[in-house]
Chain A
C-alpha cells in the first residue's frame, strides 16, 4: 500500500510529523515503511500556461513555434517538439530559471535560429511516472484539464509537493490497506482523532429498488451484497486532484466513475464495482457459483473458462463479473454509459484467493477480499462512492440501498486482565497506561473492579480475536524497547548434543583435519542423476518428485549424495582446481510410492570424493595420486574413532557405474546382523570421462547403523609386562587370494597369543609366475602373564604356516 502524506492528512492531523518521522513512528509501531519517496524529483519554476498559437518552425520539420500565456504581461515564445501540442491547450511550462529533475536548468535558448523562452513539459520531464497515463500523453506533452488556473504552480496543480510512504504490510494488518485504516493506526500512535469522509447522499424521490434487485444464492461465499443505482451520469475524466491521488497510489486514472470506485476503495479498503446498468436485463443481480463449463470475457478482453468453485455475479443467467477479481467486458462502464449499478459486497477471502490464483489475476480488489474487508464499511463505502458520483459525474443517486445480507458480521468481544498482560510481557503496566492505550486504538472497553478489560473489538481489526492479540496491541503501543530484559525463572537445564549430532561433528572434525573440505549441495536434482548409482538406492526405491518444480534440473529429491559430489568435483575442475578431497553429510530421500501417501524415508549419509593428487609435487617430493587405499584408510580411521572398526568389513563388489575391480561393499555387522551400508571404490572409467574427471575414488555410507553402534567408552588396558616375539613369513600363492582372507585365517589359527598381524610387503614378478604373488606377513606373539619360549612360538608359528599352505596352496618363501 502506497500512502500519500497529503491525502492521509485529510483524515488525521499530521502536524509536527514529516514523512520520515511518520515512517519511523509507524515502523516502531509494527507497520513497516520501506521507503518514503518524494513525488517531487526536483521541479521548481514550472507553471500552468495556455498555448495561444502554434506554427511550424521555419527551418525544422519536427519543431513547432508556439506562444504561451503563463499569466505574465507578455506571452512567451516557446519552441516545442511534441507532436500533440495544439493551440488552446493548458500545459506545464518550465519558464526561464525553472529547474527540472536531474538539475536541468531552463535557460533562454535559440533552436534552429528561433528563440525559445522556456519549455513545455511532458509528465516524464516533470519526474512523474508516466506509465499510468494514456499513451498519447506518454509520447507528448502533458495536457491539463480545462479550468486549471493559468500561472499556478504545477507542484500544486499535480499534487507533486507530496511524499509517498510505501507500507510493507504483514498479512494480519490488512486494515491498513485503506487510508482510513492507516489513519486509525496513526491515531493510535499519536493520540489524535480520525476524521471520517462525507458519505451523505442527497434525497431522491425515485426508488433504486424499482430498477435493480439483488439475490445471493452462494451464501457461504458472499456474506453481504449491496447495490445502489445512479442515474444519468456523464462519463468523463475525474478531477485532477483525484487522478493525482490515484497515481500517487499507483493506480491508473480511467474515467470519473471508475476512478471514484478506486478512490473509495483506497479510502475505505472496500472494493467497489460499477456496472453499466443498462447492460443488465431488469437490473437483476444474482450471486452464485459458476456452472461447469461456463465461460465469460473479462474486462481485459480475455475469455475465461470458469470452474464450479468460482463465485460470479450474474444477471440471473449470464456472468457479469468474476466476483472480487475482475469485471466482465459486457457490462463494462464505457464513454456511452448513462446509468450505473454500483456494487459493494463482502466476498469470502479463500474463494477469491483461489480464483485469483487460478486465473492468474491479482488485482487491488482481490488482494483486499483475500485478506478480509471490514463488514462495517460495505454501506459507508457504497454511499461515499454514490455521493462522489453525484458530485463529479453528474449522476442522480436513487433512494435506497438494495441488498441482501446472507451472514451478518459477528461481534468480537475479548477480555484480558491487567495481571495477565503484565505476566505475559514481564512488564508492570498500570491501569491508566492500559486504558490510554485502548482509548487511543479507539477500542471501546469496560474495566471491571478486579482489573479485567472487556473490549468490543472494532470490525476493522479482524486480526484481534484473543487475549494475546490485545496483549500485542498493548506491547507495541507501550513500545517493545520499554519491555525489560529478564532471565528465565526456575531451575537451569543441562544442554547437550544428541549422539548422532556428536558423531556428525566428530566426522566433520576428523575429515577436515585430514585435509578434506565439507560441501553442502542442493537436495533437489535431475531425475537422471538419481539413476547414476542404483546400488546406493536399493531395491524398489523411487525418488520423491516435486509437484511444481522450478526446473527439471531440480525436480526430484536426491536419493544419494554422490552424483552431486561428482558435479562439485567437475565444477572445480572446470575452474582449474583438479585436486579435490571433499565430503558431504546430509539426508537422502527414498520412497517406494509413485504418489506419496506417507513421508519418505530420510537417511543420513556420509559421502567422500577424492580425485587428482593427494599431494602436489613439491621441491622435496613427487606428486602422488589418490588411490583406493587412501579412501579406505579414511573410513578405517573414522571407524576406529567411532569404535566400530570391529563391525565393518569390506567385500569386493561390482555395483553399476563403479570400477568392477576396484570397489568394495562396506558391510556393517552390528546389532542387526550384517548389512551392506554403502560402497567404496573407484568410479567406472566411463563415468569419469563423462564428468571430465581423472581417477576418482568415492564412498557413500549410511550413518544410522553407526549412530546405533558407535561406542565412545574408553576402557584402559594395562601395558604389557612381558616381551613380545616377532616372526615374519612370506608366502607365494595365487594372485586372486585376498589378503584379508589370509590374515583372517592366520589370526584364527594363532589364537589369543597373537597380538597383531600386519602385511608388510606384496610382491609380484616374473620370477614368481604371472598368476602368483608373494605376501609377507609380520606376526607378533605375546603372553600377558609370562615370557614365551622360543619352542612355544616356533610350534604356534608352524601351525600358522601349515594352515596357510593347506588353505591357500601357499608355498613358504625361503
Chain B
C-alpha cells in the first residue's frame, strides 16, 4: 500500500507539473484529493491493515496529501497573480486625457476689486454704508457745499431726472445720509456704489462707474491721520513698497483738499509708460471735511473734525490688471470676464 501511495504522489506531482490553467488545477485537485479522488480511494483500503501498520501508512498518506496540496497552492497563487496582472493591464487608462473640471465662474472684476478694497477697510475698523443711486439734489450737491449754480458743479455734469432729482454723481450723498443717521456720533464708514456722470464713453471714460468713498468724523481727526490711513490702505492694496504723495487740489466738500498719487504699480516708481515717466499714478481724491458739510450733517465743526476720500474702482481695476479700455467692464464679453477666475 505504501508503494501505491508513493506512486500516486509521483504521478500527481508529475501531472501537476504540466498544468496550464486554474481550471485544470482544480480538476487535478478533485482527481487526487477530492472525496472520490485517488488518494481517498487508496486510503479506503486501510481497514484491512494491521494495528501496527495502520499509523505508519496513515502517516505516509498524510505526507502525500500535504505534498500535493503544497504544489497546488503554489500553482494557485501563481495563477492568481498572473490573472490580477492581466486585469490591471487591461484597465490601464491614458492619464494625459483632460479631467472633469469643477465649474469655475468669475466675480466681475469691478466687484472683485471693490471687495478687496472693502476688506482692507473692514480690517481697519470701517463699516460699509450704502444709499440710493437716484438722489435728491440736496444730498448729492447742496449738503456737500455745492449750492445751485456753484461753478464746481461743472466738474461733474449730471444726469437729472427732474430739477430736484438726479443720478448720483458720487457716493458722497451716502456720507451725508450716514452723518444725519449718526446724529452727532463719530463716523467711520466707506461707501461703495455705482455713480453716473454725463461723459462720452471712450477708453478712459464711462458715464456709469463705481466709486468707493470713505468718511471719518471724530473729536480730533487730523490731516496727518488722513495721510496715515491712506498709506496703510495703499500698502494693503498694492504691497508694502507702495508710497503715497499728496498734491493740493480742490473739492467743494473738503478743505484742505488733495489728490493722492501712489507709487506706480508697473515700474515701482522708476518711471515707465504707464505713469508717464513720473513714477506716480493718481488714484484718489481726499481732504478734511469742509465745516459747511459737517454743519449740514448735524455736527459742530468746532467740536469735531473729519476726513474724507474717494476713489474710482474702474481706475484701480485698470491699473491692477493692466486693462486698456474701461468699456470692457460693461460689455461683459465672456472672453474678458473669464480671465478673472483666479482668487
Binding site for B on A (CB under 8 A): 27-30, 32, 170-174, 349-350, 353-354, 370-371, 423-427, 466, 468-469, 471-472, 475-476, 480-481, 483-490, 492-498, 501, 505, 508-509, 511-524, 544-550, 554, 557, 568, 571-572, 575, 577, 580-582, 587, 589, 595-597, 599-600, 602, 618-621
Contact = CB atoms under 8 A, between A and B. Distances in A.
B161 A544 contact: yes
B249 A30 contact: yes
Contacts of B149: 349-350, 353-354
B106 A518 contact: yes
Given A485-B228, A497-B122, A548 B159 contact: yes
A271 B301 CA distance: 38
B8 interface: no
Given A468-B288, A483-B227, A518-B111, A425 B332 contact: no
A471 B255 contact: yes
Contacts, number: 239
Contacts of A547: 159-162
24 contacts: A29-B248, A173-B250, A424-B222, A466-B255, A466-B291, A472-B257, A475-B223, A481-B246, A486-B228, A488-B216, A488-B221, A490-B219, A517-B105, A517-B334, A519-B108, A523-B194, A523-B208, A545-B161, A547-B160, A550-B198, A550-B200, A571-B332, A596-B165, A619-B97
B103 interface: yes
Contacts of A497: 118, 122, 128
Given A173-B250, A371-B151, A488-B229, A480 B332 contact: no
Nearest to B208: A522
A587 B196 CA distance: 14
A557 B29 CA distance: 89
A550 B228 CA distance: 41
B121 to A, nearest CB: 7
Contacts of B175: none
Given A354-B149, A547-B160, A599-B134, A480 B333 contact: no
Contact of B224 (A425, A516, A557, A568): A425
B255 A521 contact: no
B329 interface: yes
Interface string B233-260: 0000000000001111110100111100
A426 B224 CA distance: 5
B18 interface: no
A370 B151 CA distance: 7
A497 B218 CA distance: 21
Nearest to A556: B161
A488 B220 CA distance: 8
Contacts of A29: 248
B326 interface: no
B188 interface: yes
Contacts of B218: 488, 490
B37 interface: no
Contact of A494 (B125, B160, B219): B125
B98 interface: yes
Question: Interface residues of B: mostly helix, strand, loop or mixed?
Answer: mixed
B132 A599 contact: yes
Contact of B255 (A353, A469, A515, A519): A469
Given A468-B290, A494-B125, A520 B110 contact: yes
B155 to A, nearest CB: 7
Contact of A495 (B104, B108, B126): B126
Contacts of B33: none
A571 B331 contact: yes
B249 A170 contact: yes
A476 B128 contact: no
A581 B258 contact: no
A200 B163 CA distance: 49
Given A495-B124, A587-B133, A600-B134, 10 more contacts: A28-B248, A481-B245, A483-B227, A495-B126, A517-B337, A520-B332, A521-B332, A549-B159, A550-B198, A589-B134
A62 B207 CA distance: 53
Interface in B110-152: 110-111, 115, 118, 121-128, 130, 132-136, 149-152
Nearest to B331: A571
Contacts of B102: 513, 515
Contacts of B288: 424, 468, 471
A97 B89 CA distance: 88
A517 B227 contact: no
B133 A495 contact: no
The 5 closest A-B pairs by CB, nearest first: A515-B103, A426-B224, A30-B248, A170-B250, A426-B222
Interface in B299-343: 305, 329-335, 337-338, 341
B63 interface: no
A481 B160 CA distance: 39
A412 B267 CA distance: 48
B125 A513 contact: no
B74 interface: no
Contacts of B334: 517, 572, 577, 580, 582
Nearest to B223: A425
A730 B5 CA distance: 66
B322 to A, nearest CB: 19
A599 B128 contact: no
